Amino acid sequence: MTDVPSPGRRGFLRRSIAIVPAASALTATGFVAGQQVAAQPASAPAAPTSPPYTPVYFHAEEWAFIQAAVARLIPSDDTGPGAIEAGVPEFIDRQMEGVFGHAAIWYMQGPFVPSSPLFGYQGKMPPREVYRAGIAATDAWCRQQKGGKRFAELDAATQDEVLKGLDGGTIQFAEVGAKDFFTFLLQNTKEGYFSDPIHGGNKNAVSWKMIGFPGARADFLDWVQKPGVHYPLPPVSINGPQG
């Protein structure tokens, strides 16, 4: 969660893109008809033309937490943009009001008993409630343990320490599972970073440009018989070209 050299960050991203449905078409070195080649440097993202996003679900203190946390989970560096530049906070906020946030298609009846992570999430709170309770509990823990400061007010190194505590089990809460909360946060951060821009994250397809993924183009028939030739066209979202 700390800033790391480019190879380490690229390795993290390579492992992370398994969450994307089309990840079988991705490589960390770029997309080519028939083989891998080095990805071309991503062009600078186009200047934003829309007003800043206003969260629908998260209130101000929760929003500050989300922005601070995702900035540590995927920081910007020389390899490419981070979670903030990619619009991950907007993606997460929008998910809270959707099917995922409400656990609308999950089985959410009891009994609720401790179980192996292999069985997936087994809690009684839908994700949106896990986020709300988890943020409140983390901020309360930080105020008690870190000089009265909320998570978003801590320096980067201390924020990393807190996130590692949530992930590793050294920080525990009575009202919500700290590990469950962190698992959702990390999962949604990666999803927002690599998602189709139609969902609010991956603004201007910045992560796709970084790894050389062509996006939702209709076909690649013109390139099937051109092994070793770099695919020159920019990524395309479900909504069309991106920047």
> Regarding predicted confidence, which is higher, 211 or 156?
156
| Average pLDDT score, the chain | 83
Residues sharing a CB contact under 8 Å with residue 104, sequence separation 6 or more, in sequence order: none
206: pLDDT strictly greater than 70: yes
d(CA 127, CA 121) in angstroms, rounded, equals 10
Q: pLDDT tens for residues 129-150?
A: 999 999 999 999 999 999 999 9
d(CA 166, CA 179) in angstroms, rounded, equals 6
- The answer to whether residues 150 and 136 touch, using CB atoms and an 8 Å cutoff, is no
Beta bridge partner(s), residue 236 = 215, 241
d(CA 194, CA 202) in angstroms, rounded, equals 6
Q: pLDDT tens for residues 60-85?
A: 999 999 999 999 999 999 989 999 99
Q: pLDDT tens for residues 93-107?
A: 999 999 999 999 988
